[in-house]
Structure 1
Amino acid sequence: MSRLRTRVARLPLRVRLVAGFSAATLVVLIAAAGFVYWRVEYALDRGLDGELEQAGGTIAPLVRASGIVGDRDAADATGVDWQVIGEGGVLLDHSGPTDTDPMLGQHQLAQIGATPRTLNIGDFLPGGRAPYRVRAIETGNDQYLVVGVRRDHRDEALRELVLQLLVAGIGSLIITAFVGDRLARAALRPVERYRQQAAAIAAGAAELRLDVPDLRDDEVTRLGHTFNDMLAELERALDRERQFVSEASHELRTPITLLAGRIQLARRRRRTAEEHERILSELEIDVDRLARLADGLLALGTASPVGAAGTVATAHVEHADLAVVAARIVNQRRLVDPGHAGDVTLELLTPHASVALADLALERILTNLLDNAVRHGAAPVRVVVDRPAPGWARLLVADAGPGMPPDLLRTATQRFARATEARTRPGAGLGLSLASALVGQGGGQLRLCHGGEHVSFPSASPEGAVAIACEHGPEMTATVLLPTYSGF
C-alpha cells in the first residue's frame, strides 16, 4: 500500500486529478447502471410472477392425491408449463414441453414450505440450459406443483440493457476523462506559467512579477497576487538590508579610520610613557564609540519582528509594569548623576500599567528616549506614565530642546538618521530606531511631535489606539502607546 501511494504521489498532478475524477465517475456510473438494471429486472419479473401466480391458483386444485392432474385441458389452457413432483424428486405428471426432467431438484424442493416460492432456473446467457421463471407450490402428501414460463424475452431485454449500459458507461467515462483532462490542463496552465516565471525570478530576474489576470478572482489568481506581494516584500526587505549594510559600513568606517590613523601616528616616533597614556586615552574614546555602535546594531537586529498592527509576533508573550520600570530607570539616573537629578522629572498618573513587553525591552525604550532627550534636547526632561484611554498605556518623554526639523522628524526612526549638527555629539543614530522596533513588538506605536508636526511609527495606527493631538508648544515629545496586558 505504501509503495502504491508513493507511485501515485509521483504522478503529475494533472494525471492524479483526471484519475480521481474518472474513478469517481466510474463509481457513479456503476451505481446508476445497477439501479436501472434492478428496476427493469424487477418490472419484468413482476409481470411473469403475476402470470405464474394466476396459473398456479388454477392448476393446484386440479392435482389429485395420486399426483395426476384431473383436468389437463384446463391446466394446459393457462399457457404455462407445469410439473407435479412427488417424494424423492419423482415426476408424477407434467405438461408437454417440460419433458420428463424435473425443473427443480430435491434439495430445492426441500426448501419450499407452506408459502409458494418463486425462483429462476436455467442460464442467463444464450446457448445454455433453457431459462425458466418457476413457482413451486406444496399441494400435500409430499407433492409439489411447479409452474414455469420461459424467460427468453425477459433475458433478451436484460442482456440488451446490459450492453447499452456498458456502451453508455464506457462512452461517458471516456468523455468525462477527456473533459476532466481539458479542465485540469486549463486550471493548471496558470500554475505552470507561475512556475516558469518563478524560475526566472530565482535565476536573477528580480524585477519580474507573476502575470496575474485582472478580471479573474479565483484560487489561482489569489495565489498569484499573494506571491507577488511576497516578492515585493522580499525585495523591500533586501533593499532595507542593503541600505543597512551600506549605512553600517559607512558609520563603522569613521571610528575604524580614526583608530588606524591614531595607531599609525603613534608609531612614527618614540614616545614617553605619558604620551602613550594620552594616546591610549584617545584610542579608548574611539573604541568606546565603536563598541556602542556595535551594541546598537546588535540590539536592533535582535528586536522581534512585528506582524499586523497591534499583534505581537512572538510565540511567548512576556509582560512588565510600565510605571514600575519608569520609576526605576529615572531613580537610577538620579543616583548615577546626582548633580543633574533635578533635570529629569517623573509623573506617575497611574500606579500600574502592565503591557505586553519584557522588562528589559521597556528599559531599552525609556533609556533610549531619555538618552536622546539629554544628548540632543535640553532640561528639564519630563517623563509621564498614564492611561489615556481604556486598554492603553502611555509613556511620554518631553524635553525643552530645539527639537527636530520636519524632514528629520519624518525619518527619525530610520537607522543612522541624525541631524547635521548632531553628528559631532555622541551616539550613532540608532536609539529611536531601536525604540520604534521594540514598541512595534509590543503592538504599540511611537509618536514624535514638535512645533505642531506629528509623525507616527508605524504609519498606520494600531487598531483601537487612542488619538492624541500634537501640542503646538515648544517641547519636543516622544510618546509611546502600548496596549495594556490582560493575560492574553
Structure 2
Amino acid sequence: MTILADLISRLPIRVRLSLAFAGVMIVLFGGLALLLHTRFVSSLDAGINRGLRTRAADLATLVRAREGRPLRPGTQLPESGGAFAQVLTPSGGIVDSTPGHGAKSLLTRDEVRRALNQRVLIARRENARVVAEPLAAPPAAVLVVGSSLSQRDRALRTLDEMLFIGGPILLVLTCVAGYALAAFALAPVERMRGRAARISGSGHGDRLPVPRAHDELYRLGDTLNQMLNRLEEAMDRERVFVANAGHELRTPLTILKLELEVTLTERLSHEDLERRLQSAAEEVDRLSKLAEDLLVIARADQGRLPVDKRPVEIEPVLRAVTDRIAGAARGESRLVRAESAGSLVVPADRDRLEQALTNMVTNALNHGNGPVLLTARERNGHVEMHVLDEGPGFAPEFLPRVFERFSRADPARSRGGAGLGLSIVRAIAEAHGGTAEAANRAEGGAVSVRART
C-alpha cells in the first residue's frame, strides 16, 4: 500500500486527477450497470409472468365454457403469441394441449398434486417458464401455461454486450474528457510557471498572470505577486545599500591610500609625517565606525540585534551622553545639556540606549544650530526620550526619509557621517519594542524614541 501511494504521488497532478476521476466513474458505472441489469431482468420477468397469467385466465374461461362436457383426451387448445398450454389430469395425463406439446407432460406428478390446490410458478423448465393452477372443471384438472425464455435471454445478452463493450469505451472517453478538463483547469498554473521561469532578478514589474475568476488560483497568483513585490522592494533596498556602502567605504579608503602613498614616496618632515599618519588614523577610525554601523544594520535586518534588557535609570544615561559629547560640542561653540529625568526607569540595554541617544545628539550637532537639549518623560506607559535643537529643522521633502539608510539632507555629502546614524536609532528602538520619530518644531528639529516602561 505504501509503495502504491508513493508511486501515485510521483505521477503528474493531471494524471492523478484523471485516475481519481476514472475510479469514481468505474464505481458509478458499475453500480449503474448492475442496477440497470437488475431492473431489466425484473421488468422482463414481470412481463412474462403477466402474460402467463393473462393466457391462463383466457384458457380457463375457454375450458369453463365446455361445462357439462367432459374433457376428452386428444383435444387441442388454441395457440396465442408463442405461448403453449396443457390441461392435465390429477395423475399427470394430458387432456388438452396446444399443437406440438401433447407428447410429454410439462409437470411432474408432485407438481401436479401441488397445482391441484394452488397456483404454482416454475421459473425455468427446459428454457421456458410455466404457471400451473387448478381448473374447476369436471373432472378435476390442472391448467398449465408456459412461455419460451429465448427472447428474454437474447434481450439480456444484448444488454450485457452493450454494457460490457460500450461501457469501457464510454469510460475511456470520459477519462480523456476528465484529463482534458484537468489540463484546462490547470492551464493558469502552467502560465504562472512559464512566467515565473522568465522572471529574473534584474527585471522590474514582471508579475505572474492571474485568471479573471476570483477563485483559488486567482488568490494564489495575487499572493505570489505580492510576494514578488516585497522581494523586489527588498532587492532594491539591497542594491541601494550595497551601492551606498561601497561609496562610503571608497572615500576613506581613497584618502587612506593617498596618505600612505605620499608618506612612502615623499621625504617629509617629522611634523608632516605625523600629520599624515594622524589623517590616516582618522580614516581608519571612520572605516571602523562605518563597519560597526553596517553590522548593526545587518543584524537588525535579520532580527538578531543583540539587546540585553535590564532596568535602566534614564538620568545617568542622559548625563553619560552629554559628558561624552560635551567636548566635541564646545569645539563648535555649541552646548549640550540634559533636563532632569527624575526616577524614570525603563527595561533596556544601556549600551544600545546610549548609542541611540549619542547618534541623535550627533545628528543635532551636525545639522542643527544652537544648544542641544535632552529630555525624558513618561506618557501612556512609555518613556519618551527627546533630542531638541534650535536649527532650521528637517526639510519637508526629507522628513519622511529621515530614518532611511544613507539618507542625508545635504545632497553634496559634504558634512556629517554616512547617513546611518538615525537608521541605527530606529533599529535600536524597534529592537526594544519601541519606535523612533522625527518632527519639526517652531524652535527647530526634534528626534525622539519611545520604549515601554
Mark yes or no: TM-score above 0.5. Answer: yes
What residue in structure 2 maps to residue 178 of structure 1? 176
**Structure-2 separation of matches of 1:424 and 1:169:** 86
Q: Is the 8 A contact 1:400 1:475 kept in 2?
A: yes
Q: CA deviation at 1:253?
A: 1.7
Say yes or no: does 1:285 pair with 2:282. yes
Q: Is the 8 A contact 2:364 2:372 kept in 1?
A: no
User: Is the partner of 2:447 in helix, strand or coil?
Assistant: strand
What residue in structure 2 maps to residue 229 of structure 1? 226
**Structure-2 separation of matches of 1:209 and 1:76:** 99
1:387 and 1:153, CA in 2 relative to 1: closer, same or farther beyond 3 A?
A: farther
**Unaligned runs of at least 5 residues, structure 2:** 52-87, 97-103, 112-120, 132-145, 330-334
**Structure-2 separation of matches of 1:325 and 1:45:** 101
Say yes or no: does 1:34 pair with 2:54. no
Deviation digits for residues 18-61 of structure 1, max 9, x if unmatched?
A: 2222222222222333344455556777999999xxxxxxxxxx
Aligned runs of 1:78-477 on 2, under 5 Å? Answer: 96-97=105-106, 158-166=156-164, 169-202=167-200, 206-207=203-204, 209-210=206-207, 212=209, 215-271=212-268, 276-304=273-301, 320=309, 324=312, 326-327=314-315, 329-333=317-321, 343-347=337-341, 351=345, 364-377=355-368, 378-388=370-380, 393-402=382-391, 403-420=393-410, 423=413, 426-440=416-430, 445-451=435-441, 473-477=442-446
1:207 and 1:358, CA in 2 relative to 1: closer, same or farther beyond 3 A?
A: same
**Structure-2 separation of matches of 1:298 and 1:132:** 99
Query: For residue 28 of structure 1, what is the amino acid of its counterpart?
Result: L
What residue in structure 1 maps to residue 90 of structure 2? 71
Q: CA deviation at 1:259?
A: 0.9
1:346 and 1:20, CA in 2 relative to 1: closer, same or farther beyond 3 A?
A: farther
Deviation digits for residues 192-226 of structure 1, max 9, x if unmatched?
A: 22222222224x77146246367432233333333
**Unaligned runs of at least 5 residues, structure 1:** 52-68, 78-94, 103-117, 123-128, 135-147, 306-312, 452-472
**Structure-2 separation of matches of 1:421 and 1:220:** 47
Query: For residue 411 of structure 1, what is the amino acid of its counterpart?
Result: R
**Structure-2 separation of matches of 1:367 and 1:424:** 21
| TM-score normalized by the length of structure 2 | 0.65
Q: CA deviation at 1:276?
A: 4.2
Say yes or no: does 1:479 pair with 2:448. yes
Query: For residue 321 of structure 2, what is the amino acid of its counterpart?
Result: R
**Structure-1 separation of matches of 2:450 and 2:108:** 106
Give the structure with higher Rg (CA): 2
Percent identity, aligned pairs only? 31
**Structure-2 separation of matches of 1:160 and 1:444:** 84
Q: CA deviation at 1:268?
A: 3.4
**Structure-2 separation of matches of 1:133 and 1:49:** 9
User: Is the partner of 1:255 in helix, strand or coil?
Assistant: helix
1:161 and 1:328, CA in 2 relative to 1: closer, same or farther beyond 3 A?
A: farther
**Structure-1 separation of matches of 2:363 and 2:95:** 121
**Structure-1 separation of matches of 2:237 and 2:271:** 46
1:210 and 1:179, CA in 2 relative to 1: closer, same or farther beyond 3 A?
A: farther
1:291 and 1:76, CA in 2 relative to 1: closer, same or farther beyond 3 A?
A: farther
Q: Is the 8 A contact 1:439 1:445 kept in 2?
A: yes
Query: For residue 329 of structure 1, what is the amino acid of its counterpart?
Result: V
User: Is the partner of 1:420 in helix, strand or coil?
Assistant: coil
What residue in structure 2 maps to residue 466 of structure 1? none
Q: CA deviation at 1:449?
A: 0.4
Deviation digits for residues 368-410 of structure 1, max 9, x if unmatched?
A: 334434554454423324243xxx6353313123122223323
User: Is the partner of 2:402 in helix, strand or coil?
Assistant: coil
**Structure-2 separation of matches of 1:239 and 1:382:** 36
Q: Is the 8 A contact 1:346 1:382 kept in 2?
A: no
Say yes or no: does 1:23 pair with 2:20. no
**Relative CO higher for 1 or 2, CA cutoff 8 Å, sep ≥ 6?**
1
User: Is the partner of 1:216 in helix, strand or coil?
Assistant: coil
Q: CA deviation at 1:262?
A: 1.4
User: Is the partner of 1:406 in helix, strand or coil?
Assistant: coil
**Structure-2 separation of matches of 1:350 and 1:33:** 86
1:96 and 1:192, CA in 2 relative to 1: closer, same or farther beyond 3 A?
A: same
**Structure-2 separation of matches of 1:360 and 1:30:** 78
1:432 and 1:337, CA in 2 relative to 1: closer, same or farther beyond 3 A?
A: closer
**Structure-1 separation of matches of 2:279 and 2:307:** 42
Q: CA deviation at 1:447?
A: 2.3
**Structure-1 separation of matches of 2:313 and 2:351:** 9
What residue in structure 2 maps to residue 106 of structure 1? none
User: Is the partner of 1:224 in helix, strand or coil?
Assistant: helix
Query: For residue 338 of structure 2, what is the amino acid of its counterpart?
Result: V
**Structure-1 separation of matches of 2:406 and 2:318:** 26
